[in-house]
Amino acid sequence: MLNVAVKAARAAGAIINRAALDVEAVRVSQKQVNDFVTEVDHASEAAVIETLLGAYPQHAIWAEESGRQHGTQGSDHVWIIDPLDGTTNFIHGFPVYCVSIALAVKGRVEQAVIYDPTRNDLFTATRGRGAFLNERRIRVSKRTDLRNCLISTGFPFRPGDNFNNYLRMMAEVMQRTAGLRRPGAAALDLAYVAAGFTDGFFETGLSPWDVAAGSLLVTEAGGLIGNFTGESEFLEQKECVAGNPRVYGQLVGILGKYSKFASAGEKAALRQDVPELVPPRTRPSAQLDGDPEGGE
């Protein structure tokens, strides 16, 4: 099954690389404000689905663009697909994007492939058998002091995102670490945590297809992944933190109070302790969706 997923990812990568040669000619449309989809997303998703169902017609598909309309829905085997994670990067010619494919069996991710077509980097993992980059075993970093750690993240960009909450999180993490990075493709961010290129990662607003494959890479590389309060059942909760075990614990300690699952007392203390960082009249979320609180 992993070999079939690799074949599917490489087929999608070939489509993406061909399109990248003339990215100005790619047709782009908007799903919502700042959320783009291209003909390349659709073509690469079709290639992945065709390859997977050609080998396993009895399996189900859960894909970013086409949802759950392909395959045998109700199957214990569900392929979770992001055909082009980092679409905004792609349409600008910024070479940080990837194909992400995971296989969940009875709700648990068992196989994972993340393919970076710009570098021909192939990240793979099978539950219980480790994580690999181009067939070389990878492990999370060994850093334990947050001051020496490089952390990746993703900025909120949709109407209704809580920008003030994110700015507070960013401020807390930036002051405690060696650096904060925002590459723009969450699946690749998680692969980089697994490979030890970064020491940790956090982001809100993510969908299952953004994190399914990366979650297995991280755990098979010896890391931990969960929601901001440290719970491991995070796949559909739209908040994610990952890292080597020591860094993960420290990030949960910082980010837990910002979780949608934090206690009422923790949230009240947060409002009292930290001032607004963006004046209400200039907050993007308030302007875009008319919500004076800039809520979730």
What single-letter amino acid sits at 280? P
Largest CA distance in the chain: 56
**What 3-state class would DSSP assign to 55?**
helix
64 is in an annotated binding site: yes
* Chain length of the chain: 296
Within the chain, where are the H helices?
Answer: 2-20, 39-55, 87-91, 163-176, 186-195, 208-220, 245-255, 264-273, 284-289
Q: What is the DSSP letter of 229?
A: T
199 is in an annotated binding site: no
Contact 61, 78 (CB under 8 A): yes
Q: What is the DSSP letter of 71?
A: B
Q: Answer positive or negative: Cα dihedral of 227, 149, 221, 50.
A: positive
Give 112's Cβ-side CA count (13 Å radius): 35
85 is in an annotated binding site: yes
What residues are paired with 170 via a beta bridge? none
135 is in an annotated binding site: no
What residues are paired with 150 via a beta bridge? 179
- Rounded to a whole number, what is the distance in angstroms from the first to the last CA of the chain? 38
Contact 41, 87 (CB under 8 A): yes
Per-residue DSSP letters for 7-32?
Answer: HHHHHHHHHHHHHHTTGGGS-EEEEE
Per the annotation, binding residues are: 64, 82, 84-85, 210
Binding residues for Mg(2+): 64, 82, 84-85, 210
